[in-house]
């Protein structure tokens, strides 16, 4: 049997994938849904599989609400603040660019400015206790509190933008970038081993194909996964996640 470890071990293009059941908790503004945030270096895509809802987005150029229903495909680039709204049992397959970077902190919640002053203050505000350190109800309460705090910040940013004042949004983007800047070297290493390596391998395959060398096809293999974790408290809802880079699948 061909070794499953041959070639790039991740998903195509080094994306990450998860299943998301969007929170149905009601927030202070009467809307049910997730925690608004942005990504600094990763594009994100939604494939809606069940239910109905919307995604509210805010960027320097637009403030929009995009409906979500089964079959819809929506994606947005780094810097786009997004908030999922759950109107009726919304479930989504989430695709994230640069597998490993989102998990390493490439997301900043839209907390009010006083929580964005330094990494320690921010980390304390967004941390959810580990499963062994608190009950599920306690962990859910923490996730809900941080969601509501982020909605408070998001509402202020959106209200200012709609009034013609983009400076609070730009200030949030600057603060978010400063919070994660110490992680840039680690992120680059993850990118080099992930998306950049996947692209390099494609280039090498094209070179060999052009030279008439198809021996690399003998290294083909199949990988399969079941979710490594189910029902985790994510930013937008309960997450089923996969351990894509584990080396023991066949």
Question: Residue 7's CB: how many other CB atoms inside 10 A?
Answer: 16
How far apart, in whole angstroms, are the C-alpha atoms of residue 234 and residue 44? 15
Name residues of the chain where pLDDT drops below 70.
1-6, 246-250
Find where tokens 């810097």 sit: 79
C-alpha triplet 186, 101, 42: angle, nearest 5°: 125
Residue 246: per-residue pLDDT: 63
Query: How do residues 150-170 score in pLDDT, each as one tens digit?
Result: 999 999 999 999 999 999 999
Residue 119: per-residue pLDDT: 95
Query: How do residues 183-225 score in pLDDT, each as one tens digit?
Result: 999 999 999 999 999 999 999 999 999 999 999 999 888 889 9
Residue 195: per-residue pLDDT: 94
Cβ-in-10-Å burial (0-12, 13-18, 19+) of 175 comes to: middle
Residue 66: per-residue pLDDT: 98
Residue 64: per-residue pLDDT: 97
Contact 249, 4 (CB under 8 A): yes
Q: In the numeric block, which tokens belong to residue 12?
A: 């195509």
Q: In the numeric block, which tokens belong to residue 94?
A: 């989430």
Residue 3: per-residue pLDDT: 34
Residue 249: per-residue pLDDT: 41
Domain boundaries, the chain: 12-184+224-241
SS3 content of the chain, % helix, strand, coil (to 5): 40, 25, 35
**DSSP three-state, residue 86:** strand
Q: Which residues contact 19 (CB under 8 A, 6 or more apart)?
A: 91, 92, 93, 94, 227, 239, 240
Name the average pLDDT for the chain: 93
Q: Which of 92, 110, 107 is nearest to 146 (CA)?
A: 110
Q: Could you name the CATH architecture of 12-184+224-241?
A: Sandwich (2.60)
Residue 247: per-residue pLDDT: 55
């Amino acid at each position: 049997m061909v070794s499953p470890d041959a070639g790039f071990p991740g998903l195509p293009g080094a994306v990450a994938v998860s299943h998301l059941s969007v929170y149905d908790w009601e927030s202070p503004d009467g809307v049910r849904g997730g925690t608004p945030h942005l990504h600094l270096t990763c594009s994100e895509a939604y494939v809606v599989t069940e239910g109905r809802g919307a995604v509210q987005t805010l960027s320097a150029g637009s403030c929009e609400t995009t409906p979500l229903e089964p079959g819809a495909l929506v994606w947005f680039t780094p810097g786009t603040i997004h908030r999922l709204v759950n109107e009726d049992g919304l479930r989504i397959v989430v695709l994230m660019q640069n597998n490993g970077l989102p998990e390493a902190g490439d997301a900043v919640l839209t907390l009010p400015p006083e929580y964005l002053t330094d990494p320690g203050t921010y980390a304390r505000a967004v941390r959810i206790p580990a499963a062994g350190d608190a009950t599920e109800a306690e962990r859910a309460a923490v996730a809900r509190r941080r969601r509501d705090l982020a909605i408070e910040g998001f509402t202020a940013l959106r209200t200012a933008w709609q009034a013609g004042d983009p400076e609070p949004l730009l200030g949030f983007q600057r603060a978010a970038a400063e919070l994660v800047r110490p992680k840039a070297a680690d992120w680059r290493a993850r990118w080099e081993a992930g998306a950049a390596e996947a692209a390099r391998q494609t280039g090498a395959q094209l070179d060999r194909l052009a030279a008439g060398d198809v021996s690399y096809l003998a290294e083909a293999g199949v990988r399969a996964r079941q979710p490594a974790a189910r029902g985790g408290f994510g930013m937008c809802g309960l997450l089923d996640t996969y351990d894509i880079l584990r080396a023991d699948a066949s």
